[in-house]
Amino acid sequence: MIPELIGLAGIALLLVLLTFGVPIGVSLALVGIGGLALLISPEAALIKSGVVSFETISKYELGVLPLFLLMAHICFAAGASRDFFDVAAKFVGHRRGGLALASIGGCAGFGAISGSSLATVATISSVALPEMRKAGYHPGFAAGALAAGGTLGSLIPPSGALIVFGIIAEQSIGKLFAAAIIPGLSQALFYMIAIAILCAVKPALGPSAQRVPWRDRLPALRKIIDILLLIVFVIGGLMVGWFTPTEAASVGVVAALLLWTLRGGFNRAAFGEALRATLRTTGMIYVVIIGAILFATFISVTGITDVLSGAVTDFHASPIVAIIVMALVLLLLGSFLDGLALMLLTTPIFLPIAVDLGFSPIWFGIFLVRTMEIGFVHPPLGLNVYVIQAMAKDIPLGTIFRGIIPFLVADFLHLGLIIAVPALTLWLPQVTGA
Amino acid sequence: MTAETESLEPPLAPPPEAGLGRLGHAAYWIGSAGLLIATAADAIAVAGRHTGFHLLGSIEVVQAAVVLIASSAMVAATIVGAHASVHILTERLRPATAERLARGAALLGALLFLLVAAGSIWVASDLWSGFEQTELLGIPLRWLRMLWIAAALLIAVLFLRSAFVRAAGRHSA
Amino acid sequence: ADHVLTYASPYPPTHPFSRADIEWMRHVEKASGGRIAFKPFWAGALISSDMSMVEIRHGVADIGLITPIYSRGGAHMLRAQSGFYGGVVDLADQVRVYDCLAAKFPAFGDELEGLHVLAVQGGNFPGVLTRNRPVRSLADLKGLRLRAQSDAIDVLKRLGADPVNMPMGEVYSALAKGVIDGVVAPADTIRSLHFSEVARYFTSVHFSRGAYPARAMSDRAWRRLPADLQALLAASKPVWEAALGREILKAEQAGIAFGREHGIQFQPLPASEQASFDRLYGEYARLQADQLAAFGLEGRPVLDAAQALISARKSRNDSSCGPAATPILETRG
Ligand code: NA
Ligand code: NA
């Protein structure tokens, strides 16, 4: 069998394993090891698995991922996420769809603490979903706004996905973080516009709540001043150069602990639970990364990547068309692949092509993560949707996915904007010299 | 359709860790220690830089701590069944069939971690007499490799147990 | 082709090292009359940068780039000996001295067990690139926070500098923001890592780094080749080494030219200062040699032999390994 065919068989087998519910990381790694055993030798495959696994778990740059997760868990335990939502709700809750707007604001705010889409959607949903349902919001609309809003967590820095991209693409994580700020904020803005339009057309989706008088709003704001300071300290310190992006995670954990202590409520049991929750999520991520690297090694040995990049080059299309084709491929793959696995798989293939076409690697990282985010909400493997469904088992999956459609439209328009105006991405890292 | 996310996040119900045993507790302790060491190392390095005192080799401390974190985190994720997976098909199957698939998936998980452990043992044995250590602080890596091998074997056992427990559950039902 | 060999490197195909690799592959393909063909894997697609010796030994790739100087275990002699070349004149000389040492000391071959060295590579000479304080003498190093590779850290500390180690990927932004004052790096980084945007002064302090085995084939893949092709590969060693030397120098010159265009001020270290630096470096090399005892290795004889070879070569342009050594063949595989 020629290597390319083995590669295709491997991909088919991967899909079968995934469909049968084999964990994503396990499927990727097994197909990868098996493929390498076939194409090179069983000995080489075993050695590769030994090398890859230990290199992955001893990588300094990847070590910041659990630390950013820990920071988010500590902030959650300190009540930061609830306060965020509360404040946003007090300010805009009286408008139509106001709680949905507040959810997007809460997601953006918590996204500046948390590095992951899943953590953000789970955290904000746990607060916002019951509130919205109490206020009579349409369940699909509420869930859709939260699922979409959660993806802000993986673009707004700190971003686990950008850390991983920076490692495999050998790009500065600081630059990537700076580049993500404007796209992240404008994405939130797009969602808010989508909500405003939806509620204008169909007010029943998000009935307005009681107006909160200004004298109650400002004290509420005081409740989150410490969190805002934390965010400004971590992101600002990073940009000014008090610490490097990798050190920012440790500094952030210490600052979050301080915040928790100052707020009161710090106790060993809760801290222990934050540590354990961090470890559980970290473990899942590491297995997927190890699996994805082994699978990517197998795929590159098959030569499929060369065939693919040749095809794109032969396309001789304008760079924009090539990028749109890549986006479509990413969305297609994203419908059945986990975001992280998708990125690890496609970066080695697409990045060189994109750079050849004249795109900056930093821009491409933002493009990739932005496209990958969409995969978190679109069927069938929109992980964010499952997170929400885990919390509100009475909302049918179909309802949630229908509720997401308007946000997907906003996503596509925003992605188009990022492609059309690279300056949105590249201006800030240039100005800050990140 | 929810198994994949149940233990992802804090707001969800705490996972069933009651019967996780001594090894599971050890995993949590080691991982938590790793998290605290990594935090402290970089935070002290930053603080030191701004006050003139210098901690050389903080990267190496973090790297070693990350091995503790990642190894035990994978054990922890396996204990609570937190590994991400696709449930598009399995949730539509009859419970008995889904159960059989889950058992198969657990067996594959065990197989993978046995393979990874074997590969890691092979690499470690190559380097065993090679005095593998970090550059500045001379942290010996062989013990970290041993820790990872132990974790991989433990994960394989946990997967096997889960396949076995599922099987037992099915027979008694 | 009769023999398709996989070649793997952690560098992208556009890197100077890779350009030399490609030149060598073309040479071998042509010289073998098409009997040998290569299937290259770049950018770490197949092998890791730190563990490639283990991987090639076990056949992950047939041939690949190895970096014993960065290895954390199993190659302490190869790593330490690259610091024994103080006073060496150029890259080509480094390679010749290495070959002599490798032929003389069995420890070299022991660490290369299961591998067949196809090319030895000289280490290029790093200098000190600083943001806003030019280094005109060794005293100027005092108090500077410099990112440095770990083998330079002890020397820098003794000169009163404040060496830090951080991932190379973070150096650019650390320089931009003044987290560090400078970096010890070869001149090619002025261009390749865009350091000209964030630094202004380059002082060529020669950290005399030495050669190390840099490209290797697994013994197994070697034995699969017929004798005439083995001989062809062995004979191609100088081709690869010359290509590497050329590309390394070219990248360095390109970096310097780029730096001049972009406002970097270059200054040599006065000869007397360089000499005292070399003395310090020599002391440090002796320390390194003695520290090999911790790994059951004898470093002093290697250091002494290296220094003897370097000074003999300087005085009479000697190209032999001296009377005691066997003629240069390939290192043991
Ligand atoms: Na984030
Ligand atoms: Na997806």
**Chain A residue with minimum CA distance to B1:** A386
Residue A56 lies in a domain: no
- In the sheet that C36-41 helps form, which strands lie side by side, from edge to edge? C36-41, C3-8, C63-65, C212-218, C115-121
C-chain residues near A62 (CB < 8 A): none
CB distance A52 to A297 below 8 Å: yes
Q: Does C169 contact A166 at a Cβ distance shorter than 8 Å?
A: yes
User: Rounded to an integer, what distance in angstroms lies between the CA atom of residue C7 and that of residue B157?
Assistant: 38
Tallying the residues shown for chain A, one arrives at: 434
Q: Are strands C265-268 and C201-204 parallel, antiparallel or unpaired?
A: parallel
Single-letter residue type at C71: S
**Token code pair at residue A397:** 């999956």
Half-sphere exposure of A201 (CA within 13 A, CB side): 6
Residues 328-347 of A with CB under 8 A from B: 336, 338
User: Rounded to an integer, what distance in angstroms lies between the CA atom of residue A283 and that of residue A279?
Assistant: 6
Residue A8 lies in a domain: no
Residue A433 has a pLDDT of 61
**Chain C residue with minimum CA distance to B130:** C74
CA dihedral B20, B25, B26, B30 (to 10 degrees): 130
* Average pLDDT score, chain B: 83
Query: What pLDDT digit, counting tens, does each position of B143-154 carry?
Result: 999 999 999 999
Selected for mutation to probe chain C from B56, B125, B128 (highest C CB count within 10 Å) is B56
Selected for mutation to probe chain B from C164, C171, C297 (highest B CB count within 10 Å) is C164
Residue B66 has a pLDDT of 96
User: Rounded to an integer, what distance in angstroms lies between the CA atom of residue A191 and that of residue C289?
Assistant: 64
Domain spans of chain B, in order of start:
21-172
Residues near A113 by beta carbon (within 8 Å), at least 6 away in sequence = A71, A72, A75, A80, A158, A227, A230, A231, A252, A256
User: Rounded to an integer, what distance in angstroms lies between the CA atom of residue A366 and that of residue A344?
Assistant: 14
Structural domains of chain A, count:
1
Q: How far apart are the CA of A150 and the centre of ligand 1, in A?
A: 10
C146: three-class secondary structure by DSSP: strand
Residue A160 lies in a domain: yes
CB distance A271 to A77 below 8 Å: yes
DSSP state of C178: T
Return contacts of C273-281, CB within 8 angstroms, 24+ apart: C273/C137, C273/C138, C274/C205, C274/C206, C276/C138, C277/C138, C277/C155, C277/C205, C277/C206, C278/C86, C278/C87, C278/C206, C278/C208, C280/C155, C280/C158, C280/C159, C281/C86, C281/C155, C281/C207, C281/C208
Q: How far apart are the CA of A372 and the centre of ligand 2, in A?
A: 7
Residue A12 lies in a domain: no
Q: Does A275 contact B105 at a Cβ distance shorter than 8 Å?
A: no
C-chain residues near A166 (CB < 8 A): 169
Q: Give Cα separations from A311 to A9, A69, A105, A343, A359 (angstroms).
A: 20, 39, 42, 20, 18
Return contacts of A263-272, CB within 8 angstroms, 24+ apart: A263/A78, A263/A79, A263/A226, A265/A77, A265/A78, A265/A79, A266/A78, A270/A77, A271/A74, A271/A77, A272/B32
User: Rounded to an integer, what distance in angstroms lies between the CA atom of residue B48 and that of residue B52?
Assistant: 6
Residue A1 lies in a domain: no
Cβ of residue B88 closer than 8 Å to a chain A Cβ: yes
Which residues, given as ranges, of chain B have pLDDT below 70? 1-20, 88, 166-173
Residue B170: how many other CB atoms lie within 10 Å: 14
The CA distance from C61 to the nearest CA of chain A, in Å, is: 8
Residue A429 has a pLDDT of 85
Packed helices A117-134 and A64-77: angle between N→C axes, nearest 10 degrees: 20
Residue B12 has a pLDDT of 36
Residue A168 lies in a domain: yes
Residue B88 has a pLDDT of 67
Query: What pLDDT digit, counting tens, does each position of C186-226 carry?
Result: 998 888 887 888 899 999 888 878 999 999 999 999 999 99
Which residues, given as ranges, of chain A have pLDDT below 70? 1, 308-309, 312, 315, 335-338, 340-341, 345, 379-381, 390, 433-434
Cβ of residue C75 closer than 8 Å to a chain B Cβ: yes
Residue A335 has a pLDDT of 67
The CA distance from A272 to the nearest CA of chain B, in Å, is: 8
Cβ of residue A55 closer than 8 Å to a chain C Cβ: yes
Residue C325: how many other CB atoms lie within 10 Å: 16
A-chain residues near C54 (CB < 8 A): 47, 51
What residues are paired with B115 via a beta bridge? none
The CA distance from A54 to the nearest CA of chain C, in Å, is: 10
User: Rounded to an integer, what distance in angstroms lies between the CA atom of residue B46 and that of residue B26?
Assistant: 30
Query: What pLDDT digit, counting tens, does each position of A92-111 carry?
Result: 888 889 999 989 988 998 88
Residue A87 lies in a domain: yes
Residue A46 lies in a domain: no
Selected for mutation to probe chain A from B85, B107, B162 (highest A CB count within 10 Å) is B85
Cβ of residue A74 closer than 8 Å to a chain C Cβ: no
The alpha helices in chain B, defined as continuous H runs, are: 21-51, 58-79, 95-127, 141-172
Which residues, given as ranges, of chain C have pLDDT below 50? 323-333
Residue with tokens 């603080």: B47
A-chain residues near B32 (CB < 8 A): 272, 275-276, 279
Q: Give Cα separations from C128 to B49, C163, C182, C205 (angstroms).
A: 21, 12, 7, 6
Q: Give Cα separations from A217 to A80, A86, A403 (angstroms).
A: 17, 10, 30
